[in-house]
Amino acid sequence: MDAPASELTTSCPSPRRIDLLSETYVVHDRSLVDNPAEILIQVEKARDQCRRIAVDDVGARPESMTLLPLIEPDIIVLAPELTCAVPDTAAAQALHVLAAQAERTGAVIVASGVDSERDRTRALALGASFGIGALFPPTPIDGTGPREALASPTWSTPTSDSRSPFDIASTDQSSAVSTKKLLVEMSCQIESQASHAGPDTMVLGTFQHARQFASPTQRRWQRMAGNIAYTGIYGIDMAGLTVPGIITSSIDPSDTLVEEWNVVVLGQFFCCVLSARDLRWGPGELGRTFEYVVSHDRGTVVRCARAVLSRFDNASHSAIEAT
């Protein structure tokens, strides 16, 4: 988005045009797949500089919807395909996601590709307040700056000093001790809920070592990946795995994350984290004992997701398209 945005008013013949990108850091929709760790760093730096955050081209790909709860942007710029598309199931799903994000955070929605009155009507139906496109003539920019036009800061999830999902999740929740057998059943239940949580959902898993992401688990996660926007798994030697539809990334054997088993689900309508720390005792594989915690608090889940994604090694991962 590099043009001033005009208000999508239905009453004023000369809507205001505001340069919403002023002092704004723009995140592009492919960022989550390309290098999520770097994007999270840049977003945090931009916020430290009191800059606004915008996500561009939202709706062009499912991954763009996943970015919204993860970084809580001030501005959501809709892809022209979404603004101009004939209403269908995908548009309805997008509308629900956008409405939930805007209601939760106060983010401003900007529609791009508004070239006709029909586009403007559709943009308003999608919850957009501003638009960019040929419908709006090049009139002078209003003196109102983006800070006056936008709501208060939309992000509410604080940063965390810890890079351990278990430490983050157990800060405000009591932990329990269980064998791996029970945790496998709990993980399966969470995976099932994630599969039906909506196409905007992100699921992240840390499995200590690639050998623990065995064939039955691979099949479950591959089926789940076909229903959601983003599925990422992490562990020692994990980048060597090829699982269609799943992004894999290796972690350093010295990383404390190796001692944890995490399932993190983040979507607009369902969020959950199951985080367990290996206690290194117990008979047999299913008898291995873990200290674990479960949380459905959105802020906690967002922080855990960021902690996992911060390990993403752009030089040591594989992203395979689902077949």
CB 133 within 8 A of CB 13: no
Give me the residue spans of the domains in the chain.
5-149, 165-319
The CATH class for the domain spanning 165-319 reads alpha beta
How far is the CA of 207 from the CAs of 93, 98, 211, 214, in angstroms? 31, 32, 9, 10
Residues in Cβ contact with 303 at an 8 Å cutoff, skipping those fewer than 6 apart:
157, 158, 159, 160, 168
Q: For residues 230-234, give the mean pLDDT.
A: 94
Q: What is the pLDDT of residue 37?
A: 87
Name the burial class of residue 143, with classes exposed (0-12), middle (13-18) and buried (19+) by CB atoms within 10 angstroms of its CB.
exposed
Ramachandran angles phi, psi of 209, nearest 5°: -135, 150
CB 131 within 8 A of CB 96: no
Dihedral class, residue 245 (left if φ above 0, else alpha if ψ from -120 to 50, else beta)? left
Give the confidence band of 306 by pLDDT, cuts at 50, 70, 90. Answer: very high
Give the confidence band of 156 by pLDDT, cuts at 50, 70, 90. Answer: low
Q: For residues 222-232, give the mean pLDDT.
A: 94
CATH topology of domain 5-149: TIM Barrel (3.20.20)
CA distance 151 to 75: 10
CB 106 within 8 A of CB 94: no
CB 283 within 8 A of CB 179: no
Give the confidence band of 320 by pLDDT, cuts at 50, 70, 90. Answer: very low
Query: Strand runs (DSSP E) across the chain, as ranges?
Result: 5-7, 17-18, 24-28, 52-58, 75-78, 108-112, 130-132, 176-179, 202-209, 230-236, 247-250, 260-266, 271-278, 289-295, 317-319
Q: What is the pLDDT of residue 305?
A: 96
Are domains 5-149 and 165-319 of this chain identical in fold? no
Q: What is the pLDDT of residue 160?
A: 65
CB 258 within 8 A of CB 208: yes
Give the pLDDT confidence of 172-202 residue by residue, as tens digits.
Answer: 889 999 999 999 999 999 999 999 998 999 9
Nearest Cα to 110, choosing from 52, 63, 156, 71?
52
Helix (H) or strand (E) holding 210: none
30-34, 65-69, 162-166, 250-254: the lowest-pLDDT one: 30-34
More confident residue, 111 or 319: 111
Give the confidence band of 316 by pLDDT, cuts at 50, 70, 90. Answer: very low
Nearest Cα to 295, choosing from 305, 285, 281?
305
Q: What is the mean pLDDT of the chain?
A: 86
Nearest Cα to 201, choosing from 65, 33, 320?
65
Looking at the chain, the whole-number percentage of residues with pLDDT higher than 70 is 86
More confident residue, 95 or 161: 95
DSSP 322: -
Q: Where are the alpha helices (DSSP H) in 164-289?
A: 165-169, 180-195, 215-225
CB 218 within 8 A of CB 191: no
Residue 58, token pair as written in the block: 């939202």
CB 206 within 8 A of CB 257: yes
CA distance 287 to 178: 9
- Does the predicted model carry a pTM greater than 0.85? yes
Q: For residues 102-113, give the mean pLDDT.
A: 91
